[in-house]
Amino acid sequence: MTEEAGLFGLLTEQLIVVATVAGAVAAMPALLEWLAERRRRREFLALSLDELDLRSRAVRSAGLEPLLSENADLIDAIRSPARYPQAATTGNEILILGVPMSGRKSLALRLAQEAGIQRALVLHNAANVDALAWSRDRIHRVRGVTWLLLIPNLDRVFARADDDEVVAQLEALVEAASEQRNIVVIATADSLVPDSTLDNLFGIKLLMPGTASVLPRTPPRSADALAYHRAVAEHYVKRFGEHQVQFSGIDGLDRDAFITRLLSLVSNPAEIEDICTLCLNAAIFRSHHGGHRTIDTGIVDRALARTLVGVSAME
C-alpha cells in the first residue's frame, strides 16, 4: 500500500510538472505578444514626447522680435508672477494660431526663453493616451523651476479624436498643468472655433502675422444672462481700483463704457475674467516701465484680440 501510494504521488508530481510545462508553452505566444506590445508602446511613447533644455536651445528668431515686444507684458507676468495679482488665473495657458510652418513653435519656445523658463516638455502626439498619462505625472513632479508644456497642432487632435478617453485625458492634462504656478502651457493650432472646447481651454490666443480672425459668435441677449455678465464684469472691474488702476478717460473710455463694450462681445464669464485680468496686468506692466497705471483703448483692444478669437481652417 505504501509503495502504491509513493508511486501514485510520483506520477502526480510528474503530471503536475508536465501540465505546468505544457501550460507555460501554451501561454508563451500570449506572453511574447504582450512583451512585443509593451515594447511598441514604449517606442511610441518615446516618439510622442521630448524634453528640451531651453537654456542651451537655439531657436529660430528671425521675424519674431516684434511679436515678443507686443507680448512683453505676458512674458513679464510669467517671469515675475508676484508683481501681478491675478497672474495665476490668466497667462499660463496660451494658444498660438497660424498656418503650418509660420513659426508657431519657434514663437512658443522664444516666449518661454524670454520668460526665463529652463525646461520644456513637448507632447508631439496628444492623441496617445500613454503620453498624456506620462505627461500629467511628469508635470506633477516638477519642483523649484518653471517648465513649458508645449502641445503642437492641438486642434487636429480635437478634430480627429473619436475616443472620449483621449479628449478627457487631454482636457485634464491642460487644466492640471494650468493650475500649477510653475507650468506654462502653450499649444499651437491651425484653426479655432469660438466657444469650442479648445477655445475654452485657453484663456489667451496669439495670432501669427497674416492669420485672419473670424468671430461668428453671438453673445447672450436674454435679460438674465446680461445681468449676470454685468455682475461678473463689475466684480472684476472693482479690482482695478484695489490695485490703483484707473481708466484713461481718453476716447470716452471709462468704467461704464468698458463694461458696455465687454458685454456686447463676450459669451461667458470666463472671457470676462480673462479680458479684465489682461487689462489689469497690462496696466501694471506699463507702470513698472515708467508709464501710468491706466487702462486705455489700446490695452482693451489687445485684451479683446487675445481672448475673443476664431480662425477658419486653412485648406
For the stretch 196-214, pLDDT in tens is 888 888 989 999 988 877 6
User: Distance between CA 266 and CA 307 in Å, rounded?
Assistant: 9
Residue 200 · residue 269 · CB < 8 Å: no
C-alpha cell at 10: 510520483
70: closest CA among 109, 118, 107, 113?
A: 107
118 and 146 in contact (C-beta within 8 Å)? Answer: yes
| The length of the chain, given as a count of residues | 315
Sorted by sequence, the CB contacts under 8 Å of residue 1 that are 6+ apart come out as none
Residue 166 confidence (pLDDT): 83
The alpha-helical segments, DSSP class H, found in the chain are 2-48, 65-70, 72-79, 104-114, 129-140, 154-160, 164-178, 197-201, 223-242, 255-263, 269-288, 297-307
Sign of dihedral through CA atoms 7, 13, 15, 21? negative
70 CB-contact burial (10 Å; exposed 0-12 / middle 13-18 / buried 19+):
exposed
What's the pLDDT score for residue 315? 37
Q: What is the CATH number of domain 223-307?
A: 1.10.8
- Among all chains, which residue has been given the C-alpha cell 510652418? 101
Helix pair 129-140, 2-48: axis angle to 10 deg = 80
Q: Can you tell me the distance from the alpha carbon of 141 to that of 40, in angstroms, rounded to the nearest whole number?
A: 26
DSSP annotation of 311 reads B
Give the number of C-alpha atoms closer than 13 A to the C-alpha of residue 238, restricted to the C-beta side.
6
State the pLDDT at residue 314: 41
**How crowded is the C-beta side of 218, counted as CA atoms within 13 Å?**
2
Report the distance separating Cα 52 and Cα 54, nearest Å: 6
- For 132, how many CA atoms within 13 A lie in the half-sphere containing its CB? 19
The pTM of the whole model exceeds 0.85: no
Please determine whether the domains at 48-207 and 223-307 fall in the same fold group of CATH. no
Q: Do 185 and 151 form a contact (C-beta atoms < 8 A)?
A: yes
Domain boundaries 48-207, corresponding CATH code: 3.40.50.300
Domain coordinates in residue numbering, the chain? 48-207, 223-307
Distance between CA atoms of 83 and 63, rounded to whole angstroms? 29
Q: Could you read off the pLDDT tens digit of each residue along the chain, which spans 315 residues?
A: 555 555 555 556 665 666 566 665 665 565 555 455 555 555 545 667 889 999 988 888 888 999 999 999 999 999 888 888 754 456 689 999 998 889 999 999 999 999 999 999 999 888 888 888 888 888 888 888 889 999 999 998 888 756 677 888 888 898 888 888 889 999 999 988 888 888 888 989 999 988 877 665 667 678 899 999 999 999 999 999 999 999 998 889 999 999 999 998 898 899 999 999 999 999 999 999 999 999 999 999 999 999 988 655 443
